[in-house]
Amino acid sequence: MGVVGGGLVAQAMHLHHLAARRDLFELVGLAEPSATVREALGARYGIAGLHPHYGGLLDKGELDALLVCSPAGTHAEVVLTALDAGIHVFVEKPLCITLADADAIVAARERTGLVVQVGTMKRFDPAYERMLDELPETATSLRYVSVVVNDPEFVPYFRPGEIVRGSDVSDEVLEATRRAEAEQVEAAVGSGAPEVVRAFSESFLGSLVHDVNLVHGLLEHMHEPLPPDVVDGDWWNEGRAVNGSVRLANGARCRRGSSSTRPSIAGASAAAKPTSSASPSPTRRASPASSSTSTAA
């Protein structure tokens, strides 16, 4: 197993779980542009193959599967390259940014017969499974579905030193990553302005996408035809808050909204000076992350 990207999600979730199940996974390589992060995680998890770019990881020819935790704008390129190399892929959400890239990934998966999984894990949540038991098997009486997500800053919820951060990624790499993401967002929605990139790539595709997938699972359980018709979408607060609504086949509405107080991913990368997360300030408080889904019949 190889991992591309050693950021927050990789450290808080995936690397820990892979290391805990060495009976199932052999973690042989990590590709991460920050030498500080790369070397610290290599030492922490005993990863021998450390690379600044994912190409070096794939060139080793020793992977059965690849976990992609790099920035969203890199997902399509990494996934397609891995599939062409005969490697199964688990990719963090979002799968990609543009419909064209999504079609290309589906075509590559069908051509190669390899597995491509996306990290939309909420359908395995016990609360979700309990909700399925409470719902009717048909959506004929469904009138309204509401989803509300509030994301706080991450730092207060990690122990000091738990999350390794680095400030040694070159400006050229950071700028190329930001530029690629902006170009893909512009191709998808017609604008690559910073607030639009933040709204589409981070708020919609990086946060609310979890709950879109969750609601689709609930609607599938009730045999509601998918996808629904889009009614509207909006963003504000420089793209840190978004909402949207869709119309279901029976005329019911589903409204989803997400707001975040955490800094943007690009801003966090540029400001990442310490090599480990600082302890929470006693004068600074943040509410636990919350996500709620409700249905009305």
Measured CA to CA in angstroms, residue 27 lies from 60, 84, 136 at distances of 13, 21, 43
At 281 the pLDDT is 32
What value does the mean pLDDT of the chain take? 87
Share of the chain above pLDDT 70, in %: 85
Quick one: 269 and 174 in the same domain?
A: yes
Q: Are 103 and 191 in the same domain?
A: no
* Same domain, yes or no: 37 and 161: no
Same domain, 110 and 154: no
Q: Which domain covers residue 240, as residue numbers?
A: 124-296
Tell me, what's the pLDDT at 51? 98
The string of DSSP letters for 72-89 reads: GGGHHHHHHHHHHTT-EE
Q: CA-based Rg of the chain, rounded to a whole angstrom? A: 20
On whether both 7 and 143 belong to a single domain, the answer is no
The verdict on 188 and 95 lying in the same domain is no
Decide which of 95 and 250 is more confident.
95
Last residue of a domain, one of 119, 147, 162: 119
- The whole-number pLDDT of residue 246 equals 94
The residues that bridge with 244 in the sheet, in sequence order, are 233, 256
Both 111 and 93 in one domain: the answer is yes
Q: Over 60: is that where the pLDDT of 290 sits?
A: no
For residue 81, pLDDT over 90 is answered with yes
Q: Are residues 29 and 109 in the same domain?
A: yes
Question: What angle do the packed helices 171-189 and 99-112 form, to 10 degrees?
Answer: 100
Strand partners, 241: 236, 259
Per-position DSSP letters for 173-198, written without gaps between them = HHHHHHHHHHHHHHHHHS---HHHHI
Higher pLDDT, 278 or 238: 238
Query: Where a domain ends, among 119, 151, 178?
Result: 119
Q: Mean pLDDT over residues 7-23, rounded?
A: 94
Does 280 lie in the same domain as 182? Answer: yes
Query: Are 195 and 219 found together in one domain?
Result: yes
* Interval 242-269: pLDDT, tens: 999 999 998 999 999 988 765 444 333 3
Number of domains composing the chain: 2
Q: What is d(CA 164, CA 11) in angstroms, rounded to the nearest whole number?
A: 8
> So what's the pLDDT on residue 97?
98
Give the residue-averaged pLDDT of 279-288.
32
Q: Is the pLDDT of residue 274 over 50?
A: no
- Determine the pLDDT at residue 272: 35
Only one residue has tokens 């992350």, namely: 289
Q: Are residues 225 and 158 in the same domain?
A: yes
Provide mean pLDDT across the span 215-232.
Answer: 92
Per-residue model confidence as pLDDT tens digits over 121-174: 888 899 999 999 999 988 888 999 999 888 777 665 666 668 899 999 999 999
Same domain, 176 and 89: no
Domain boundary among 69, 84, 119: 119
The string of pLDDT tens digits covering residues 96-107 is 999 999 999 999
The CATH number of residue 92's host domain is 3.40.50.720
pTM of the model: 0.84
287, pLDDT greater than 60 = no
Residues in Cβ contact with 214 at an 8 Å cutoff, skipping those fewer than 6 apart: 120, 122, 123, 128, 147, 293
